[in-house]
Structure 1
Amino acid sequence: MKVHVTDLKPGDRLLADTFNEAGLHVLQQGTELKEEEIHKLMQHGVDYVDIEPAVQQPAIAMIHTQQYELLQKTKPYLEQAVDGFESMYLEALATGRFNEGVVDDIMEPLVDQLKEHKDIVSLMLCIDQNDDYTYIHSMQVGILSYYIASWLGFSKEEAYEAGRAGYLHDIGKCQIPGSLLNKPGKLTFEEFEEMKKHTIYGHDIICSSTPDTIPALVALQHHERDDGSGYPHAIEKNEIHPFSRITAVADVFSAMSMNRVYQSKQELLTVLRELHTMSFGKLSANATQVFIRHMLPNFIGKNVILSTGERGTIVMTNPADFFRPLVNTGDRFVDLSAEHDIGIDQIFL
């Protein structure tokens, strides 16, 4: 059957050799199309091709229903993690320590839920951001640290420990005055120096609460950078614990993608692009790249609002620019890698 290239789907197979208008051979007969091949056809200006359609996958509506049900099942565990961190935060504020048992009571059932999720973008988008930033941020960083460690090949036990440490990384902020945490404008030099102490406060609070030294080290080091430009001790990558480097990636992603008093959230693909830039010297290259590699496929099928005001759906990631995908608005296909004056304002389920 002959179809327009914008209607091609991964798994379709070419029934004939394909040439562009100049007669240049593009793809040979029998090629099973993947995203890269479909984009290649578009780049060469090919309009129609003869294909054998891919074997039909389960109905998209059924997949969406299953995804929705899974997210609804997980939401209570996310809310428990936010409420639990608030409880520990307030306890640490009052006493300088927290109940260690609460952490595992929250993290163990949460991680059991996370094992069922493949689409982490949907999981991030479903999180209600109406609670206090620090509480939600800590929950997100715990989740993302667990996933990154898993994707890097750490054992289940190690990935759990990485997630646990990520969950506790900002507990030291309870010792920072609220006037600094909630200041809408730029911090002065003196104020920023005080803010940086939350890493030291967190280390001390965790050491007072548990004999496990790794979460304390992650709290201390999650703002250190591979090139030595971080804080509090300006150490370089060989001195930074692997879990601290993982949490640093999760921390930056979560912070940039959430609303804060001094910064509006950025859409997720823009954040991933910034992480990619930071992976060259600032953040762990391995942790950052494995995170980006696992996140990008999850954007296909997500709804967007473009800077033009048009609504559409991401239909394909772009091999030439992973962070500027192809969007179907219903009326047209917008290749953001080619139309640089158009961007994505919002991504949603």
Structure 2
Amino acid sequence: MRIVPIYRVKPGMRLGRSVQDQDGRLIITAGITLNERLLTLLERQGYTALYIADKIGDVELPELVSLQTKQEVIRSIAQFIEIEALHARRLSLSLAPGHLRPLSGRNMISKARYDVSLNMLKAAEMLVREIISRKEVLIGMVDIKSLHDYSFGHSVQVALNALVVGRILGYDRRELRVLGAGALLHDIGKTVISPSVWMKPGDLTHEEFARVRDHPEAGFEILRRTSLGLMPAHTAYQHHERWDGSGYPRGLASDKIIGLARVTAVCDVFDAMTSDRPYKKAQHPMEALSFIVSNSGILFDPRVVEAFSRVAAPFPVATGVILSTDETAVVKRLNPRALDRPVVAVTKDPHGNYYAHPRTIDLEQHPEIRIASYAEWYTAPDPGQISAFGGLVASALDRALPEG
């Protein structure tokens, strides 16, 4: 199995990993043979690459949690946004001139807000339970997201990565649950910004950029009034602060930034850099990891970076690499003790010709061979060719807010 850019996927190829839609529902199950209709559907859904099953067998995708858990978490986020948007709408109406008393249904909305906050903590606990149940957890695969639904896929992946790092840092179960809730909702402030702005393919205007930079404060205002507690609110507020004080909104530095936000910041940047977005193409995980490590003690907490680098693979499973022998290979599985020396299947000779039978090499056992670089990396089309979609955020807001 390997990751293939969607423009290189041909009818007759077999899907190696199931694909979900923006609501977390299964679109196509792994093992299905792809045809023109399915490929057109996936392209329209905004997928830029797919996991394709091939003759390279025994590839182990290090999934952090089950598909069912991801679906439950996405539903919890969507419900939280919907109820909070409805609350904000009714609050603004109750404060408008001419309203002498609260609108009817206030108690019902208060109960719903409590329930969705409780569900978010339960969602975070679900992630924690699965991650701590595994003997070893690594950030070792590419989570291919739809361009039309970057936001929610991003939130879940940031939370998962943050929990892996939190576990390395020695967080207890309660701390992990709070970290998970804060990371899942770190971008909740974007719900007050039109999706046409933060999913805009082209450059933002000065006014639009200022609005996007306001999302940490907006997130804090939303979360501090919920039953989640203040730590998730401060995680949303501070996840764009930087170790050297160069971040925003307050320019906090070093230990003035709460630990949960420092962890979330690293995981947020890594997933953002390695994901296709309407306005920017994905970078290879090796490049993102190099950026984070090179900014240890500058933009990021050195302790968090050290923990992150212990679990983040520079060459994820199912991605292509070029060996020091000039041969091309695909990563089959990771070596936890040496993430830069995985087990690979060598597929092409130095001249680019496919071997009839790929051979497997454990690079940890062969120090004379190393990975020289990564092979072709999937990327999205040019940003200008991609429509801006709000994905799940827009649909949740549409359900909560009346027209006009």
Matches within 5 A, 1:128-147: 129=146, 132-147=149-164
* Aligned counterpart, 1:51: none
Deviation at 1:130?
A: 6.5
Equivalent residue for 2:206, pick from 171, 180, 189: 189
Q: Counterparts of 2:144 and 2:171 in 1: how far apart (Å)?
A: 26
Q: Deviations over 1:123-169 (max 9, x none)?
A: x5356546621111111111111111111112222122212211111
* Aligned counterpart, 1:164: 181
Equivalent residue for 1:212, pick from 202, 219, 229: 229
Q: Does 1:121 align with 2:145?
A: no
Aligned pair in 2 of structure 1 residues 125, 116: CA closer, same or farther (>3 Å)? farther
TM superposition score normalised by structure 2: 0.60
Deviation at 1:267?
A: 2.1
Q: Counterparts of 1:190 and 1:323 in 2: how far apart (Å)?
A: 43
Equivalent residue for 1:86, pick from 78, 90, 111: 78
Aligned pair in 2 of structure 1 residues 262, 85: CA closer, same or farther (>3 Å)? same
Q: Deviations over 1:88-124 (max 9, x none)?
A: 22332332394211202322222212224434335x5
Structure 2 residue matching 1:312: 3-state secondary structure: strand
Deviation at 1:81?
A: 1.4
Q: Counterparts of 1:240 and 1:227 in 2: how far apart (Å)?
A: 11
Deviation at 1:205?
A: 0.5
Structure 2 residue matching 1:269: 3-state secondary structure: helix
* Aligned counterpart, 2:287: 270
Q: Does 1:152 align with 2:169?
A: yes
Structure 2 residue matching 1:114: 3-state secondary structure: helix
Q: Counterparts of 1:307 and 1:181 in 2: how far apart (Å)?
A: 36
Aligned pair in 2 of structure 1 residues 119, 72: CA closer, same or farther (>3 Å)? closer
Q: Counterparts of 1:78 and 1:120 in 2: how far apart (Å)?
A: 17
Structure 1 residue matching 2:124: 3-state secondary structure: helix
Q: Counterparts of 2:255 and 2:184 in 1: how far apart (Å)?
A: 23
Structure 2's unaligned 5+ residue stretches are 1-56, 89-109, 351-368, 379-404
Deviation at 1:328?
A: 5.4
Give me the identity figure in percent.
26
* Aligned counterpart, 1:344: 375
Q: Counterparts of 1:274 and 1:146 in 2: how far apart (Å)?
A: 21
Matches within 5 A, 1:1-349: 64=58, 71=63, 74-96=66-88, 98=113, 99-117=116-134, 118-122=136-140, 124-125=141-142, 129=146, 132-210=149-227, 212-296=229-313, 299=315, 302-306=317-321, 312-314=329-331, 329-332=346-349, 335-337=370-372, 343-346=374-377
Query: Contact between 2:245 and 2:253, CA under 8 Å: does it hold in 1?
Result: yes
Query: Contact between 1:303 and 1:311, CA under 8 Å: does it hold in 2?
Result: no
Aligned pair in 2 of structure 1 residues 267, 102: CA closer, same or farther (>3 Å)? same
Q: Counterparts of 1:224 and 1:130 in 2: how far apart (Å)?
A: 26
Q: Counterparts of 2:68 and 2:334 in 1: how far apart (Å)?
A: 32
What code does the residue aligned with 1:248 have? A
Q: How many residues were matched structurally?
A: 274
Aligned pair in 2 of structure 1 residues 169, 126: CA closer, same or farther (>3 Å)? closer
Q: Deviations over 1:162-190 (max 9, x none)?
A: 12211111111100122211111122232
Q: Counterparts of 2:148 and 2:239 in 1: how far apart (Å)?
A: 23
What code does the residue aligned with 1:203 have? F
Q: Counterparts of 1:184 and 1:253 in 2: how far apart (Å)?
A: 20
Q: Counterparts of 1:294 and 1:192 in 2: how far apart (Å)?
A: 33
Q: Counterparts of 1:323 and 1:270 in 2: how far apart (Å)?
A: 13
TM superposition score normalised by structure 1: 0.68
What code does the residue aligned with 1:239 have? K
Query: Contact between 1:138 and 1:166, CA under 8 Å: does it hold in 2?
Result: yes
Q: Counterparts of 2:69 and 2:147 in 1: how far apart (Å)?
A: 16
Question: CA RMSD, aligned part only?
Answer: 3.5
Q: Counterparts of 1:193 and 1:72 in 2: how far apart (Å)?
A: 35
Q: Counterparts of 1:147 and 1:71 in 2: how far apart (Å)?
A: 12
Structure 1 residue matching 2:218: 3-state secondary structure: helix
Structure 2 residue matching 1:106: 3-state secondary structure: helix
Structure 1 residue matching 2:281: 3-state secondary structure: coil
What code does the residue aligned with 1:345 have? E
Q: Give the structure with the higher percent helix.
A: 1
Structure 1's unaligned 5+ residue stretches are 1-62
Aligned pair in 2 of structure 1 residues 158, 84: CA closer, same or farther (>3 Å)? same
Query: Contact between 2:166 and 2:176, CA under 8 Å: does it hold in 1?
Result: yes
